[in-house]
């Protein structure tokens, strides 16, 4: 390798999107496949993204009156069986714990001890509606106990046939919120409220434009009366369900016995909601923003918002340059900017490419020249080397927040442009079929009435399409597309 390859990531998005996706994750050092099938190891740089997501969203839900709690990983089998549709939806992807002890087998290898077989097996939570419902049933007695809004940040496990790192792993991290209300109106309203919290989070923090919509009946959460979703379009034109909020009616209240005495003194079942976002959002981030040189982190969740590369020509410069950088770092940190200094031994070029691949939004170079001039050189990751510019340290300190916001806006604008250019209105099923026969990569939008009937089923099956949602701002329409 004499000079740098054309792109830091091979293959390019154009050449092989799924492979490109995996290479970006590797190049940015975010995660890797674990020795356990379908599971991933999230590495520090990837986990830092999740921590930022957690922090921002956790603050938001607390403003909405939600309290965090923690419920067990293991759910009694009998709990899962309580809600008919729920069982049907999750039964085929549950990991089951059947023993509580290991012993040496005939071949000397460890095996579950026959004598330690559980009377009733436990299911590793695929979601916690039932066990939280069980708790709520005990905690809620009066309308005065309502609304009750609980959330937990945890892992869940759904045995996946085809795992994809971050997008669909058997074990993943998420938050699941579970709210209970006196009546349908409050609960439906809450479902919308939580969906809006997700939509705002996706757009304002992740720079991912989303379509807020309601799922069609066959795409609903098992056991829900209504499922709301935010749907995003990835760079390959596929849809990604980025968050869901469910109105569960009284289904779980009835199966879990969540009853309360109403204002009228009558015993009633509560109306519940549940809502979740997961580490899948990290995948969404990559497929929304990354390019052929690697990741591009939206500034508000970027582990490092500003990356500083000291350019040391000889040892005599070092102290002067480093103390110059320390002053800058202090100014940035005072504003709450997350700064990373790459003072490793590596060469300048390597450090630059490292930051490019990791998607650090704003890169700063400081060497003897800058120190002499009282300036610094900065480059935006989203715009590349053409955006390289020079300014004084004070000017930079004053404008850095604005630059980060501009990067956010630019990433959002790009994603929105790509999405809007790839939504096509179709007037009938013939047009829908023709569109996807022609290898269209994007969303089709059409009258929701068209999804009834065998023709729609045949076309969607043939082209692996699904009804993504009925947009809240156009409920008589439906968005159709391929999805992750």
The residue among 102 and 383 lying less far from RNA, judged by its C-beta, is 383
CB of residue 298 to RNA, shortest distance in Å: 19
- C-alpha 90/C-alpha 79 separation (Å) is 12
Measured in degrees and rounded to the nearest 5, phi and psi for residue 68 equal -85, 145
The residue among 117 and 388 lying less far from RNA, judged by its C-beta, is 388
Task: Collect all residues with Cβ–Cβ distance below 8 Å to 207 and sequence separation of at least 6.
Answer: 288, 289, 298, 300, 408, 409, 411, 412, 415
What angle is formed at CA 249 by the lines to CA 174 and CA 63, rounded to 5 degrees? 45
CB of residue 236 to RNA, shortest distance in Å: 9
Task: Collect all residues with Cβ–Cβ distance below 8 Å to 49 and sequence separation of at least 6.
Answer: 30, 282, 285, 297, 301, 302, 303
CB of residue 351 to RNA, shortest distance in Å: 9
End-to-end CA separation in angstroms for the chain: 36
CB of residue 296 to RNA, shortest distance in Å: 13
The residue among 447 and 457 lying less far from RNA, judged by its C-beta, is 457
- C-alpha 169/C-alpha 164 separation (Å) is 6
- C-alpha 210/C-alpha 203 separation (Å) is 7
DSSP tag of 291: B
Nearest residue to 289 via CA among 378, 403, 163, 418:
418
The residue among 350 and 421 lying less far from RNA, judged by its C-beta, is 350
The residue among 100 and 458 lying less far from RNA, judged by its C-beta, is 458
Question: Which tokens is 254 given?
Answer: 């009835």
The residue among 146 and 239 lying less far from RNA, judged by its C-beta, is 239
CB of residue 244 to RNA, shortest distance in Å: 6
Positions in the binding site for RNA (CB under 7 A): 1-5, 8, 18-19, 22, 33, 37-38, 89, 92-93, 158, 160-165, 167-170, 172, 219, 221, 240-241, 244, 276, 278-280, 293, 311-314, 346-350, 352-354, 356-357, 363, 365-370, 377, 379, 384-385, 388, 461, 464, 482-484
CB of residue 12 to RNA, shortest distance in Å: 12
Residues 140, 146: contact at Cβ < 8 Å? yes
The residue among 185 and 457 lying less far from RNA, judged by its C-beta, is 457
- C-alpha 203/C-alpha 410 separation (Å) is 12
CB of residue 93 to RNA, shortest distance in Å: 6
Task: Tell me how crowded residue 484 is: count the other CB atoms within 10 A of its CB.
Answer: 17
CB of residue 109 to RNA, shortest distance in Å: 13
The residue among 82 and 378 lying less far from RNA, judged by its C-beta, is 378
């Amino acid at each position: 390798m004499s000079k740098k390859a054309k792109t830091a990531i091979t293959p390019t998005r154009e050449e092989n999107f799924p492979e490109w996706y995996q290479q970006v994750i590797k190049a940015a050092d975010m995660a890797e496949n674990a020795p356990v099938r379908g599971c991933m190891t999230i590495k520090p740089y990837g986990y830092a993204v999740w921590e930022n997501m957690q922090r921002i969203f956790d603050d938001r839900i607390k403003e909405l009156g939600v309290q965090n709690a923690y419920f067990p990983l293991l759910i009694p089998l009998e709990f899962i069986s309580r809600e008919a549709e729920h069982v049907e939806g999750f039964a085929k992807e549950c990991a089951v714990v059947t023993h509580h002890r290991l012993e040496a087998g005939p071949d000397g290898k460890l095996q579950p001890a026959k004598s330690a077989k559980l009377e009733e097996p436990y299911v590793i939570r695929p979601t916690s509606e039932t066990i939280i419902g069980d708790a709520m049933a005990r905690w809620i007695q009066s309308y005065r106990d309502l609304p009750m809004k609980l959330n937990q940040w945890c892992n869940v496990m759904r045995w996946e046939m085809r795992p994809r790192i971050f997008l669909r792993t058997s074990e993943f991290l998420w938050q699941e919120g579970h709210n209970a209300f006196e009546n349908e109106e409050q609960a439906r309203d809450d479902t919308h409220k939580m969906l809006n919290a997700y939509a705002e989070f996706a757009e304002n923090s992740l720079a991912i434009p989303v379509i807020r919509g309601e799922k069609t009946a066959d795409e609903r959460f098992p056991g829900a009366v209504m499922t709301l979703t935010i749907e995003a379009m990835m760079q390959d034109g596929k849809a990604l369900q980025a968050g869901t909020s469910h109105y569960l009616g009284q289904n779980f209240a009835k199966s879990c016995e969540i009853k309360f005495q109403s204002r009228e003194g009558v015993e009633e079942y509560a109306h519940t909601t549940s809502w979740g976002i997961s580490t899948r959002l990290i995948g969404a981030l990559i497929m929304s923003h990354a390019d052929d040189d690697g990741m591009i982190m939206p500034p508000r969740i970027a582990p490092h918002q500003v990356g500083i590369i000291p350019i040391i020509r000889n040892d005599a410069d070092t102290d002067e340059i480093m103390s110059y950088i320390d002053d800058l770092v202090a100014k940035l940190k005072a504003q709450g900017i997350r700064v990373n200094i790459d003072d490793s031994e590596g060469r300048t070029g390597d450090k630059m490419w490292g930051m490019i691949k990791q998607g650090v939004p704003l890169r700063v170079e400081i060497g003897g020249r800058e120190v002499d001039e009282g300036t610094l050189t900065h480059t935006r990751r989203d715009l590349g080397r053409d955006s390289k510019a020079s300014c004084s340290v004070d000017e930079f300190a004053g404008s850095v927040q604005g630059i980060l916001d501009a990067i956010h806006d630019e990433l959002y604008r790009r994603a929105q442009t790509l999405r809007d250019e790839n939504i096509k209105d179709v007037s009938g099923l013939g047009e829908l079929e023709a569109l996807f026969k022609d290898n269209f990569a994007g969303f089709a939008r059409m009258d929701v009435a068209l999804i009834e009937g065998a023709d729609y089923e045949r076309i969607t099956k043939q082209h692996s399409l699904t009804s993504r949602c009925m947009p809240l701002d156009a409920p008589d329409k439906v968005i159709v597309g391929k999805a992750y």
